[in-house]
């Protein structure tokens, strides 16, 4: 399932629920050349993950519906194709692939619209019967009524739409392999499954007059159609798997929350008239983050909800996907583990050997002077202790700007020691959350590791 399909499913689901209707999942697998093993299950899984449950479908069938998988409904389509043939709304076509290709090549010189030349429509009934009995390979085509100038319909999104019948191709309805095309199968199924509204991508707009003609041929009332704009790349080309991550799976694997992706696709091509919910509370995120984090921590680490909430609050501005939580929240539960690359990066960016060691020791002395109670060991008081340490380390800093710059440089060294990387939340708040004793132990351990890594 790709992003465009998820958005279409979401729009159908929301529309159905608004009108107390049913959202139906149907597996349209009649194009056997494009069949991908497991794709139907993937659709089911992605909808479940995104929180867009269907009311009717393969796993939730109604008693009077034999199947929601089109490849299991072939007899139904064959029966309806015969109805069209008997009424003259469709005809048998015995043209080979080679003849059709040659005819298309010739028609290119006659204009941009390449239509079937209807040679098989001229066959007599006797010749058709003779070729059928002989077992000649054939298809069934829709006969577009050229005796009428236009086919018109009203689209919920596009408004009034009309097509010249002379420019509509005699669409193949049944292929030579005995499977229907999308056009016949979707029309028959929409009628039998009592579909009232079809919301789909606008690439199907040009096919809709063929569907309207089919409904008329069967004597059925067509559903209401809504063709929504396609999702596009930044260069206005159609969103394609060849140009980046467009599958829902890729976002699931990267740790995106379903609420975030659903919000994202809902706002592609649509915006609410008032406001829409885009921000979620920590309580809604907590369980998902806890599960991700507890798989990533070594040993039996007990994760306290309130402690985790405070840690998330500290790093939330840097969290883009759930996987970011692992690296950003890990320092709140485990000491930094300095690899050779991390130590090298620290030395290049912020570490200056013994001088940096002495700086950190001064900071630790200032931290030790703060009362460890929750009322006093606060981010604000911790930052003030950094400023005092800065005055000791850099007594020549005269202006507030100079002192702030020097203090920030000291905090960059502390962040590496606490996190093992330059990334993380605010250092004063990180130390407040760790608590006085844990923070001092963490810095002592980190100094030893940093020294060994040199």
Is residue 241 flagged as an active site residue? yes
Q: What are the φ/ψ torsions at residue 168 (nearest 5 degrees)?
A: -105, 130
CA-CA distance, 246 to 239, in Å (whole number)?
7
Are the beta carbons of 115 and 170 closer than 8 angstroms?
Answer: yes
For 193-289, list the strands marked E by DSSP: 197-201, 224-228
Helix (H/G/I), strand (E/B), else coil: 381: helix
Beta strands 90-93 and 159-164, pairing class: unpaired
Q: Return the residue matching tokens 């996987």.
A: 323
Chain Cα centroid distance, residue 231: 12
Are the beta carbons of 142 and 213 closer than 8 angstroms?
Answer: yes
CA-CA distance, 405 to 393, in Å (whole number)?
13
Q: What are the φ/ψ torsions at residue 387 (nearest 5 degrees)?
A: -65, -40
Q: Tokens for 178?
A: 């005995």
CA-CA distance, 235 to 225, in Å (whole number)?
28
CA-CA distance, 422 to 420, in Å (whole number)?
7
CA-CA distance, 322 to 306, in Å (whole number)?
18
Residue 90 bridge partners (DSSP): 142
For 109-193, list the strands marked E by DSSP: 139-142, 150-155, 159-164, 172-174
Which of 17, 59, 238, 241 is the catalytic position?
A: 241
Rounded to the nearest 10°, the torsion over CA 301, 305, 311, 316 is 120
Helix (H/G/I), strand (E/B), else coil: 125: helix
Q: What are the φ/ψ torsions at residue 350 (nearest 5 degrees)?
A: -135, -10
For 136-279, list the strands marked E by DSSP: 139-142, 150-155, 159-164, 172-174, 197-201, 224-228
In angstroms, the first-to-last Cα distance of the chain is 49
Catalytic residues: 241
């Amino acid at each position: 399932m790709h992003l465009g399909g998820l958005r279409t499913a979401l729009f159908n689901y929301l529309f159905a629920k608004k009108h107390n209707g049913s959202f139906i999942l149907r597996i349209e697998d009649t194009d056997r050349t494009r069949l991908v093993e497991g794709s139907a299950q993937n659709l089911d899984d992605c909808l479940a993950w995104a929180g867009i449950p269907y009311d009717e479908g393969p796993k939730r069938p109604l008693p009077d519906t034999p199947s929601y998988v089109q490849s299991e409904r072939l007899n139904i389509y064959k029966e309806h194709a015969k109805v069209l043939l008997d009424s003259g709304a469709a005809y048998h076509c015995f043209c080979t692939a080679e003849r059709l290709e040659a005819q298309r090549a010739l028609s290119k010189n006659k204009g941009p619209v390449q239509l079937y030349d209807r040679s098989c429509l001229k066959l007599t009934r006797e010749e058709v019967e003779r070729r059928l009995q002989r077992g000649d390979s054939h298809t069934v085509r829709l006969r577009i009524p050229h005796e009428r100038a236009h086919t018109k319909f009203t689209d919920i999104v596009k408004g009034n739409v009309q097509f010249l019948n002379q420019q509509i191709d005699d669409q193949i309805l049944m292929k030579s392999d005995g499977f229907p095309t999308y056009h016949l199968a979707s029309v028959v199924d929409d009628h039998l499954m009592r579909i009232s509204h079809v919301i789909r991508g606008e690439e199907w707009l040009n096919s809709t007059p063929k569907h309207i003609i089919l409904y008329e041929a069967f004597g059925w009332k067509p559903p209401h159609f809504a063709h929504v704009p396609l999702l596009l790349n930044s260069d206005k080309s159609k969103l394609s798997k060849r140009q980046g991550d467009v599958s829902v799976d890729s976002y699931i694997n990267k740790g995106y929350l379903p609420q975030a992706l659903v919000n994202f696709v809902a706002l592609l091509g649509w915006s609410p008239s008032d406001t829409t919910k885009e921000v979620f509370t920590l309580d809604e995120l907590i369980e998902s983050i806890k599960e991700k984090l507890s798989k990533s921590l070594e040993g039996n680490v007990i994760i306290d909800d309130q402690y985790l909430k405070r840690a998330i609050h500290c790093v939330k501005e840097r969290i883009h996907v759930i996987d970011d939580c692992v690296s950003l929240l890990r320092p709140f539960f485990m000491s930094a583990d300095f690899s050779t690359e991390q130590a090298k990066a620290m030395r290049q960016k912020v570490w200056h050997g013994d001088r940096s060691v002495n700086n950190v020791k001064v900071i630790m002395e200032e931290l030790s002077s703060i009362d460890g109670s929750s009322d006093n060991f606060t981010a604000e008081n911790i930052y003030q202790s950094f400023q005092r340490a800065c005055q000791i380390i850099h007594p020549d800093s005269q202006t507030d700007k100079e002192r702030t710059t020097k203090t920030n440089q000291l905090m960059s060294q502390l962040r590496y020691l606490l996190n093992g990387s330059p990334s993380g939340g605010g250092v004063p708040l990180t130390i407040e959350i760790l608590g006085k004793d844990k923070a001092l132990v963490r810095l002592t351990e980190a100094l030893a590791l940093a020294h060994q890594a040199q």
